[in-house]
Homo-oligomer: A and B are copies of this chain.
Amino acid sequence: MTSVSGTYRRIVLKSRPPGEPSESDFALKEVPIPEIGPGQVLVRVLYLSLDPYMRGRMRDVASYAPPVGLGEVMTGGTVGQVVASNHPGLQVGDIVEDRLGWQEYGVGGGASMRKIDPSLAPISTANGILGMPGMTAYCGLFEVGMPKVGETVVVSAASGAVGQVVGQLARLAGCRVVGIAGGPTKCDFVRDELGFDACIDYKAVVDLGAALESACPDGIDVYFDNVGGPISDAVMLQLNMWARIVLCGAISQYNAAEPEMAPRLPAFFVGRKVTMRGFIVSDFAPKYEPARRIMGKLVREGQLKYREDIIDGLENAPRAFIGLLRGENFGKLQIRVSPEASYV
């Protein structure tokens, strides 16, 4: 089978909000299912990953990736099922990870496509702990954070897609791990389910610095930062000599129209020999394969847990994404675009 007829739905970017996005910045469009060319496959999207970086794609500014054009489909990682194939290595029914965007179908077959073995783990994990967020956690922690046995690691957005993995890996690496998350439900999960040594509810504490000091009696050696802003300012002040800051994200700033004012830290960083390094997970693309092998094993052994927050229906993606930027999700946020049963 090389073609499927009919129409499908996609979500396009309608306008570029200067601040917090609203649902009216997106539009649902119905388009015909395309024909596939030589070497291509038609994929029915099962899971769409929603991630904070997508806010950056809505801005018309140069970054490590080009912005989404107005009227174009929103970009995003996907797990889907091949429904038509002109690709010698892929059969109808195969499960593939790709970056097909916010839509029900997409044409794959390029370099970004990866075939998934559904017997190894639930396929949604290819958007999560065994996908981009998991690789971000593993490579960011070990390649940039370089934790040592006995050090203290602090992770912000600790229950999020990346944070939950970072903290568990750092525990496995012999570190004391302290999370920062919003609300008692997330903090209980991080501490009781994921096994962090402590988790600070930044919404509940009056003095975040004092809470950090109490949770990190030996100071902080690695800060894995997913949030930026005042939370990070408080962490910075308690960094030990030789500390490393892994700049993974700054979700607190993504809706800001103008850069926020903040204390200047470089002089302090010199005195404490701090290394701060921003990274993009694709910097480490050549290391995905060994990382995925290790992470897959840890997941199957039950040494790494994960929590996904799955919302049904592509039409709910804009609202879910806006909630993600507000911290309303609980775990790795995904949209179930088509029921997974369809591929069984």
**Interface residue ranges, A against B (CB under 8 Å):** 138, 142, 146, 148-151, 169, 172-174, 218, 221, 240-242, 273, 286-287, 290-291, 293-295, 297-298
In the assembled complex, how far is the CB of residue A300 from the closest CB belonging to chain B, in whole angstroms?
Answer: 12
Given A142-B149, A146-B142, A298-B150, A218 and B173 touching (CB < 8 A)?
no
In the complex, the answer to whether B287 meets A151 with C-beta atoms within 8 Å is no
In the assembled complex, how far is the CB of residue A169 from the closest CB belonging to chain B, in whole angstroms?
Answer: 5
Nearest residue (CB) in B for A298 is B150
Q: How many copies does the complex hold?
A: 2
Contacts of A286 in B (CB 8 A): 241-242, 273
Contacts of A293 in B (CB 8 A): 218
30 A-B contact pairs sorted by A residue (CB < 8 Å): A138-B148, A138-B149, A142-B146, A142-B148, A142-B149, A146-B146, A148-B173, A148-B291, A148-B294, A149-B169, A149-B172, A149-B173, A149-B294, A150-B294, A150-B297, A150-B298, A151-B294, A169-B174, A172-B174, A173-B174, A174-B174, A218-B293, A221-B290, A240-B290, A241-B286, A241-B290, A242-B286, A242-B287, A242-B290, A273-B286
Give the CA-CA distance A150 to B138 in the complex, in Å.
Answer: 11
Give the CA-CA distance A155 to B234 in the complex, in Å.
Answer: 40
Give the CA-CA distance A142 to B241 in the complex, in Å.
Answer: 16
Give the CA-CA distance A298 to B176 in the complex, in Å.
Answer: 13
Contacts of A150 in B (CB 8 A): 294-295, 297-298
In the assembled complex, how far is the CB of residue A170 from the closest CB belonging to chain B, in whole angstroms?
Answer: 9
Contacts of A138 in B (CB 8 A): 148-149
Nearest residue (CB) in B for A139 is B148
For the complex of A and B, 7 pairs with smallest distance between CB atoms: A150-B294, A142-B148, A172-B174, A149-B172, A173-B173, A173-B174, A149-B173
Contacts of A218 in B (CB 8 A): 293
Give the CA-CA distance A241 to B151 in the complex, in Å.
Answer: 27
Give the CA-CA distance A38 to B102 in the complex, in Å.
Answer: 77
Nearest residue (CB) in B for A152 is B294
In the complex, the answer to whether A149 meets B298 with C-beta atoms within 8 Å is yes
Give the CA-CA distance A241 to B285 in the complex, in Å.
Answer: 13
In the assembled complex, how far is the CB of residue A194 from the closest CB belonging to chain B, in whole angstroms?
Answer: 15
